[in-house]
């Protein structure tokens, strides 16, 4: 204002007052001549050059400030300065991220805050409380959205004359976090495949040794049968041993098929009701015997298999093992007894089979991983391969296998297969 008073005002200020005015407000061109006239008595100074230099410097500072402001406001990163009381200043991107709904969960320890400013305040307090210098980088994830965002907060103490303040840089890394999760899943899948390959090699060696042992036992048994003849009680025992060896040989063959990874399991037309009945006949005695032996309440196995079900594509032997595996799992999940129900029905162009139990059910967090290799809820008692192999058998046959919990308690496994058209009658 003194500059605009003219020469009289400048005369009162003197040279020192002139430079104070120049430090706070650059002069206009019309005022420059008045300034020079007022400072004419000062000798040995190139006043015109000094004034122009100061004006150019001031303009450069203004341009630098405008450029910095524009860069901060158009940046994709959110930036804020905080002190112990909260956010002091922030750019537009920060204010936009503030509108995202919380809560926000910190990934390193699970702590939650209602909003982004609250999370940033926690990070600022953590930085100010520690002795070491350098940034603190943490991740926060939304917990209330179907597709949560992930933010990375980088907090660092402001150094120099400004004490007690923290700069917080927030970046939206949702896409990066999703890519990292997909990469981790791919690595886990690769590791599972490597485990399966190692298990196949192990199974191949075991199957080879067992097959050789069984063949030797079979030869010895045939010699005993020839020497004893076909009469007497001893022959009955030998016949029973022969059947046991035959069953063991079939199981070893199954193990060898697994180890060879044969892609061409022969698919045929299968009547699912017959497969279920065969599986039930095999497992029923074991279910009832285990309940009696352990003093547990009785277990019942009920079948609802209507006549005239369409045939489906699959391997009868493979599907039989799938049903047996599901029935054994149902039995193990029912320590207090109850009923296992197997139902089949035609629905549209498909045949649906359900295996229901009245047991403890499946924890919700385990459902997504239930059919993954080596995942088991039985601890050391399980291998984690039964349901994985069952899922592979059903999928290879063109069907689906899913698991869920029943509203009234227990679990239900649902197998769905495309129904085949009736085979044409043969000609005589």
pLDDT 10s digits, 38-93: 656 654 556 667 777 777 777 777 776 666 666 566 667 788 888 888 888 888 88
Q: Determine the CATH number of domain 75-172.
A: 3.30.450.20
Mean pLDDT of 360-387: 75
Q: Write out the H or E segment, with its range, that includes residue 113.
A: strand 112-113
Q: Judge whether 35 and 50 are in contact, CB under 8 Å.
A: no
Q: Which of 179, 192, 173 is nearest to 369 (CA)?
A: 192
Q: pLDDT class for 356, splitting at 50, 70, 90?
A: very high
Domain coordinates in residue numbering, the chain: 3-73, 75-172, 182-260, 268-418
Is 268-418 in the same CATH topology as 75-172?
A: no
Q: Residue holding tokens 């050059």?
A: 49
Please determine, for residue 342, whether its predicted confidence score (pLDDT) is greater than 90: yes
**With the C-alpha atoms ordered 270, 275, 278, 283, is the resulting torsion angle positive or negative?**
positive
Name the CATH topology of 182-260: Helix Hairpins (1.10.287)
Please determine, for residue 26, whether its predicted confidence score (pLDDT) is greater than 60: no
Q: Is 364 helix (H, G, I), strand (E, B) or coil?
A: helix
Lowest mean pLDDT among 9-18, 27-36, 58-67, 87-96: 9-18
Sort strands 338-347 and 400-405 into parallel, antiparallel or unpaired.
unpaired
- Greatest alpha-carbon pair distance for the chain in Å reads 145
**Of the CATH numbers 3.40.50.300, 2.60.40.1930, 3.40.30.10, 3.30.565.10, which one belongs to the domain with range 268-418?**
3.30.565.10
- Rounded to the nearest integer, the mean pLDDT of the chain is 77
Q: Judge whether 119 and 106 are in contact, CB under 8 Å.
A: yes
Residues 6+ away with beta carbon under 8 Å from 92: 73
């Amino acid at each position: 204002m003194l500059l605009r008073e003219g020469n009289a005002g400048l005369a009162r200020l003197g040279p020192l007052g002139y430079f104070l005015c120049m430090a706070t407000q650059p002069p206009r061109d019309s005022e420059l001549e008045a300034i020079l006239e007022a400072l004419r008595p000062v000798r040995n100074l190139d006043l015109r050059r000094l004034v122009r230099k100061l004006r150019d410097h001031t303009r450069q500072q203004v341009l630098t400030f405008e450029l910095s402001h524009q860069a901060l406001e158009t940046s994709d990163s959110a930036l804020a300065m905080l002190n112990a009381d909260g956010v002091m200043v922030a750019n537009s991107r920060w204010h936009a991220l503030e509108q995202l709904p919380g809560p926000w969960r910190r990934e390193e320890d699970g702590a939650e805050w209602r909003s982004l400013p609250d999370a940033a305040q926690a990070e600022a307090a953590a930085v100010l409380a520690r002795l070491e210098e350098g940034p603190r980088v943490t991740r926060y994830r939304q917990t209330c959205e179907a597709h949560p965002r992930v933010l990375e907060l980088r907090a660092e103490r402001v150094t120099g004359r400004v004490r007690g303040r923290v700069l917080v840089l927030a970046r939206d890394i949702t896409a990066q976090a999703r890519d990292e999760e997909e990469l981790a899943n791919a690595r886990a899948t690769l590791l599972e495949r490597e485990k399966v390959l190692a298990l196949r090699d192990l199974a191949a060696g075991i199957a080879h040794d067992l097959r050789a042992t069984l063949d030797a036992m079979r030869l010895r048994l045939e010699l005993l049968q020839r020497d004893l003849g076909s009469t007497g009680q001893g022959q009955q025992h030998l016949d029973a041993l022969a059947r046991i060896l035959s069953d063991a040989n079939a199981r070893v063959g199954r193990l060898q098929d697994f180890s060879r990874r044969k892609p061409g399991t022969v698919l045929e037309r299968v009547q699912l009701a017959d497969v279920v009945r065969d599986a039930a006949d095999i497992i029923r005695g074991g279910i009832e015997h285990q309940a009696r032996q352990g003093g547990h309440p009785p277990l019942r196995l009920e079948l609802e298999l209507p006549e005239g079900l369409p045939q489906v594509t699959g391997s009868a032997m493979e599907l039989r093992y799938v049903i047996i595996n599901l029935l054994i799992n149902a039995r193990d999940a029912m320590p207090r007894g109850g009923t296992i129900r197997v139902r089949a029905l035609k629905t549209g162009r498909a045949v649906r089979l359900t295996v229901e139990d009245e047991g403890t059910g499946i924890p919700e967090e385990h459902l997504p991983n239930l059919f993954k290799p080596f995942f088991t809820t039985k601890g050391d008692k399980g291998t984690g391969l039964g349901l994985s192999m069952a899922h592979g058998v059903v999928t290879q046959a063109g069907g689906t296998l899913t698991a869920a919990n029943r509203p009234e308690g227990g679990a239900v496994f649902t197998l769905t297969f495309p129904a085949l058209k009736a085979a044409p009658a043969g000609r005589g």
